[in-house]
């Protein structure tokens, strides 16, 4: 069973990572290209390239914050009805009588809200532990000296593993079944 949860988490984390970073990179590249064109398309030199890279690096974490939420919602659809190590997650209707074979995004809204709140609580718990570690063992004075979207993404990935383990207990519509 632990192999199932690990492989499920691995597939999910790869999907979330790829979708969110690719979408954020594309959006940041569009903004960078727009700024380059609106400035009259100066000839490429070391200063222009450095400025464009700086613009991309500025916009990437901002767009990643939004695309991460989108990727979290979209990725939940693909964890169901996939046989991994002899087990799979099944999604049932609200009355728990019918199994949903073709899962649409509308079927996921209630499940996603419960799962997302579970992720938030798990990330919050990791933040408390990290803050305690920071105050005891490092020279940082606060969380905002080191915390950014990259740390948050790591905490989300760690919390995602534990959320899959707790998901069937937390959400009655989700069941683990043998396949």
Q: What is the pLDDT along the chain (179 residues), one digit of tens a residue?
A: 789 999 999 999 999 999 999 999 999 999 999 999 999 988 888 999 999 999 999 999 999 999 999 999 999 988 988 889 889 888 888 777 788 888 888 888 888 899 999 999 999 999 999 888 888 888 877 777 778 888 899 999 999 999 999 988 888 888 888 98
Q: Is 147 helix (H, G, I), strand (E, B) or coil?
A: coil
Non-local (6+) Cβ contacts of 172 within 8 A are: 96
In order of 5, 6, 155, 164, the CA distances from 171 in angstroms are 16, 19, 22, 11
Per-residue pLDDT, 16: 96
Tally Cβ neighbours within 10 Å of residue 43: 5
Per-residue pLDDT, 73: 92
Output the CA angle 124-129-130, nearest 5 degrees. Answer: 90
Per-residue pLDDT, 158: 96
Per-residue pLDDT, 103: 86
| Pick from 71, 84, 94, 88: nearest CA to 14 | 71
Number of structural domains in the chain: 1
Q: Which domain holds residue 35?
A: 2-178
């Amino acid at each position: 069973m632990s192999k199932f949860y690990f492989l499920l988490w691995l597939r999910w984390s790869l999907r979330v990572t790829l979708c969110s970073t690719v979408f954020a990179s594309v959006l940041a590249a569009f903004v960078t290209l727009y700024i380059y064109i609106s400035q009259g398309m100066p000839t490429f030199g070391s200063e222009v390239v450095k400025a464009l890279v700086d613009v991309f690096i500025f916009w990437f974490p901002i767009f990643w914050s939004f695309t991460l939420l989108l990727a979290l919602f979209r990725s939940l659809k693909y964890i169901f009805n996939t046989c991994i190590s002899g087990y799979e997650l099944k999604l049932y209707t609200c009355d728990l009588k019918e199994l949903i074979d073709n899962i649409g995004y509308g079927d996921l809204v209630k499940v996603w809200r419960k799962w997302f709140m579970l992720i938030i609580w798990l990330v919050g718990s990791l933040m408390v532990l990290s803050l305690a570690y920071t105050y005891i063992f490092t020279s940082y004075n606060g969380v905002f000296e080191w915390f950014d979207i990259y740390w948050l993404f790591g905490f989300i990935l760690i919390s995602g593993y534990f959320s899959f383990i707790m998901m069937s207990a937390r959400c009655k519509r989700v069941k683990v079944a043998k396949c």
